[in-house]
Amino acid sequence: MSGRPAPFPTRDEVLRFVRESPGKVGRREIARAFGIRGNDRAALTDLLRSLEEEGALDGPRRRRRTPGTLPQVTVLEVTDLDPDGALSARPARWEEDEPPPSITLDAAPRGVPEPGVGDRVLARLRPAPDGGYLARPMRVLDAGPRRVVGVFRADGRGGGAIQPADRRRRRDFPVPEGETAGARQGELVVGETREGRRVGPPEARVVERLGAPDSPGAISLAAIHTHGLPFDFPDDALAEAASLEAPGPEGRADLRSLPLVTIDGADARDFDDAVWAEADAAPDNEGGFRATVAIADVAHFVRPHTALDRAARERGNSAYFPDRVVPMLPEALSADLCSLKPGLDRACLAVHLRIAADGALLAWRFERALMRSAARLTYDGMQAAADSGGEGLAEALRPAMAALYGVLGALRAARERRGALDLELPERTVALAADGTVSGIGFARRHDSHRLIEELMIAANVAAASALDAARTPCMYRVHDRPDTAKLDVLQELLRSRGLRVRLRGAMGADAFNKILAGLDDPRDAAIAGLMILRAQAQAAYSPRNIGHFGLGLRRYAHFTSPIRRYADLLVHRALIAACDLGPASAGQGAAGQGEAAALEQVGAHISSTERRAQAAERDAMDRYCAAYLAERVDAAFHGRIVGVTRFGIFVSLDETGAEGLVPARTLGRVRPRFDARRHTLAVGGRTLGLGDAVIVTLREADPLAGGLAFTLDAANGEAWEQAPDHDGGRRGGRRERRRR
C-alpha cells in the first residue's frame, strides 16, 4: 500500500456514499471506504453525529426503515467483504431516495456455493438487531467482476497494487505477478477484481492502461471508468448506425422554408432542438404567439429491439465532460444524421404551440416533418443580437427573434403564476489549453437566451405529456415528488437559525420557497438559503406513474426535447408517433415491444439510475479538474463561503472556482470547537462560524487523483470575524446575554 494519507471526505461525499453505496453502511464501512485512520476516526464520529442531529442521516436508534420493508425472499447483490470475512449486500432493485437497509450475509448452507463480491444471490432475509437484515443465501444466480480505477504501484517482483482513484475505495488492490498487462509504475489503469480471498481486499488484474495520471484526458477517463459508464459501442450498433440514411420528404410535412434556428452553448456537441415563433394573428389570441419546437426524429433511426436500441437503453443518457462526451448514440447519429446542422435537410418531430399573452398553453399539434436549420446560434450571440435590436443577425431571422423573446415574457409570467421553484444555481465551467491541461475554472454566464430555450422546451414537454395523457397512452413522465417532511423540518430549523421565521409544511407549493428567497436582502443569506432549499428537494426521476413535477409546479411533464442524449425522450417520441398516428406502428412501440406502463416501470428505474450514474461521474470529474487546477497554488489564499458546518470542521466553497474543501476543526485552535447542530455553527474561542459566512482560506493540499482539497483558515479572517454579525441577529458582543437566556 502507498501509505499516503487519504484526504478527509467532505460532508456531501459521505452523504453520497451512504445513499449510493450498496449494502451495510456504518461508521466502520465509511472509515474503510475513505481510508480514515487514527485520530481522524474521532472526526468521522463527530461528522456522523452532526449529520444525524441535522436529520441528513438516520442514526441506528432513529432508523425509519423497519424490518419488513424488504420481502422475506429477494435477490441481493454482494457488495463488500470486510477484514473479518463478513459479506455485505444490497437489494438488486432499490428505487428509494434513501439508502437501503444494511444486509449481512450468513454462511451459505451445505450445497450452496459461497458467494463473493459482485455475485447476485437469491437469499432469505430475517430482521437483525441493528434494524437491518441477516441474509441466508439460497442460490448464487450469477457473478461478475468489479472494476477499479487507480494508479499502478509496482512492487519490484513482477506484481504490484492498484491505488484507487475513487475516494470510496481507499485500500489498495494487490495485483499478482503476470496480471499487470505491462503497466508501468505510476500509470493510470483499470483493474478487474478477482474474488477468493477471505481476508483483506480482493486481488485485481489490470485490464486496461489509461496512461499517465497527468496526461490529457486522464481526469475524465478516470471518472468514466470509476462509475462504469459504457464507453465503447458494440460493433453491431456501430455497423447499424453506419448503414442508416436520412429520410426524404415522403410522408412528412415540409418545414424547410420555416426559419427554425438552433440556440446552444458555444461548445455544444449535438443539436437536437430548433425553435421559431411569430405573433398570433388570430383574433381569439390577442397578444399571443405561435411557436414551433422541432426535435430530431431519433425514433426514425433507432427502432425497438435493434442493436442501436439496446446500446442506447443500456447507456440511458449521454454524459458530458470538459474534454469529451460519452454519447447515448454513435457519432454517425448524434453528430450527423440526428444533429440539426444549418443548411441541411433533417428529419424532425415538431410540435406547433399556441401560447396566450399570459403564457397559457392553448393548443398543440405534433407532426413528423423535414426541416432545414436557418442558423446555428449561441446563447451569447443570440443575447447580443437581442440587446442590439437584431444587429449581427440575418434580416430574415429578426422577426422570429423578437417573437421568441415575447414568448419568453409570456411563459415567464405563467411560470411565476403557477409558483415554480426558481433557483438560479451557478454552473461551473472548465477551460482547457491546447495540451489538455486546465487553463481556468469559472462560472457560466446566464442570459435571457438561456431562459428562452428552457421555457420553450418546458412548454413542448408539457404538450407531449398532455397529448399522451389525453390519448390514454402510457408515458414515461419526468416526476418530482414533494420534499420529505423530515427534510423540511431540518430546513425550517436552519432558516430560523438565520433569523428567518418560516413554517414549512409538506402540502405547500414550491412558491413558498420562492417567497423565502425573495424576502432575503442579504446576498449571503440568499445564497445559503438557496443551497439549503436545493438540498431539501426530492430527486427527480422517470416513471410511468405520474405524480406531477413539484419543482416546476406542473401536473403533467415528460421529457420530449432531447432524444439524442436521453432515452426517456426517445420513448416519449415513440409513444407520440403511435398515439398521433404519425408513422409505422413499429416506430411507436416502447423499448420492450409494448407501450404498456408495466413494461415502462423497469425501464424508468433503469434510466433514472443511469442518469444518477452520469451525474456522479460528471461531478467527480469536476472535482478532479478543480484539484488539478489548484494543485499549483498550494499555500495560496482564497476567498470563499462556508457551505457546511460539522463537529470536525467546516466546508468552504471558493468564490473563484466553486471548488469545495475541508477546514479541519483541529486546525482552528487548541480548544475543541463547540458545535451547534440546530444553528449550524461552530464556536471557536470568542468567534462563531456559520453557514454562508465569508472566509479567507489557505490551500494546504490538493489531490487531483481523488479530487480532494484541504484548507486552513487564513489569519486575515480575524478582523472579518470581529466585524461580522452573529447568527442570532445581533453583534458578537451579545454572546454573554444569550448564554444567560
DSSP letters, 665-719, are GGGS-SSPPEEETTTTEEEETTEEEETT-EEEEEEEEEETTTTEEEEEE-TTHHH
For 349-359, what is each residue's pLDDT tens digit? 999 999 999 99
CA distances from 412 to 155, 422, 444 (A): 62, 11, 21
Give the type of residue at 162: I
For 147-183, what is each residue's pLDDT tens digit? 889 999 999 899 999 998 876 565 788 999 999 999 9
Among 377, 494, 454, 461, CA closest to 55: 494
pLDDT reading at 66 higher than 60? no
CA distance 49 to 52: 5
Q: At what angle do helices 567-579 and 448-470 cross, to 10 degrees?
A: 50
> Across residues 314-342, what is the average pLDDT?
95
Confidence of residue 518 (pLDDT cuts 50, 70, 90): confident
One DSSP character per residue, 172-238 reads -EEE-TT-STTPPTT-EEEEEEE---SSSSPEEEEEEEEE-TTSTTHHHHHHHHHTT---SPPHHHH
For 74-125, what is each residue's pLDDT tens digit? 888 877 654 445 677 888 777 565 567 778 888 777 767 667 666 778 888 9
pLDDT at 87: 76
Confidence of residue 196 (pLDDT cuts 50, 70, 90): low
Confidence of residue 52 (pLDDT cuts 50, 70, 90): low
Confidence of residue 462 (pLDDT cuts 50, 70, 90): very high
Please tell me which of 114-128, 320-334, 420-434, 501-515 the model is most confident about, judged by mean pLDDT.
320-334
CB-CB contact of 103 with 135 (8 Å): yes
Domain annotation for the chain: domains and CATH numbers: 147-213 (2.40.50), 235-480+542-622 (no CATH), 485-537 (no CATH), 634-740 (2.40.50.140)
For 248-264, what is each residue's pLDDT tens digit? 999 999 999 999 999 99
CA distance 555 to 469: 11
Higher-confidence position of 735 and 179: 179
Contacts of 64 (CB under 8 A, 6+ apart): 58, 98, 486
CB-CB contact of 579 with 467 (8 Å): yes
pLDDT reading at 591 higher than 50? no
Among 389, 418, 326, CA closest to 610: 326
Characterise 160 by phi-psi region: left (phi > 0), alpha (psi -120 to 50), beta (else).
left
Q: Buried (b) or exposed (e) across 528-554, using 16+ Cβ within 10 A?
A: bbbbbbebbbbebbbbbebebbbbbbb
Q: What percent of the chain has pLDDT over 90?
A: 49
Q: At what angle do helices 398-418 and 448-470 cross, to 10 degrees?
A: 70
Confidence of residue 1 (pLDDT cuts 50, 70, 90): very low
> Across residues 485-493, what is the average pLDDT?
77
CA distance 9 to 200: 22
Element (H, E) at 512: helix 511-518
pLDDT reading at 568 higher than 90? yes
Residue 324, all three cell numbers = 469529451
One DSSP character per residue, 339-376 reads S--BTSEEEEEEEEEEE-TTS-EEEEEEEEEEEEBSEE
Query: Helix, strand, coil shares of the chain as percentages rounded to 5?
Result: 30, 25, 40
pLDDT at 498: 67
The single residue listed with the C-alpha cell 484507487 is 164
CA distance 559 to 479: 10
Mean pLDDT of the chain: 83
CA distance 269 to 290: 29
pLDDT at 503: 76
pLDDT reading at 491 higher than 80? no
CB-CB contact of 651 with 642 (8 Å): yes
Residue 562, all three cell numbers = 432531447
pLDDT reading at 646 higher than 60? yes
Is residue 625 classed as helix, strand or coil in its secondary structure? helix
CA distances from 71 to 125, 135, 149, 174, 494 (A): 8, 11, 35, 37, 37
CB-CB contact of 644 with 56 (8 Å): no
Strand partners, 478: 542
For 666-712, what is each residue's pLDDT tens digit? 898 778 888 887 777 888 877 888 888 889 999 999 988 888 899 99
Contacts of 684 (CB under 8 A, 6+ apart): 668, 669, 671, 673
CA distance 299 to 564: 10
pLDDT at 409: 97
For the whole model, what pTM was predicted?
0.77
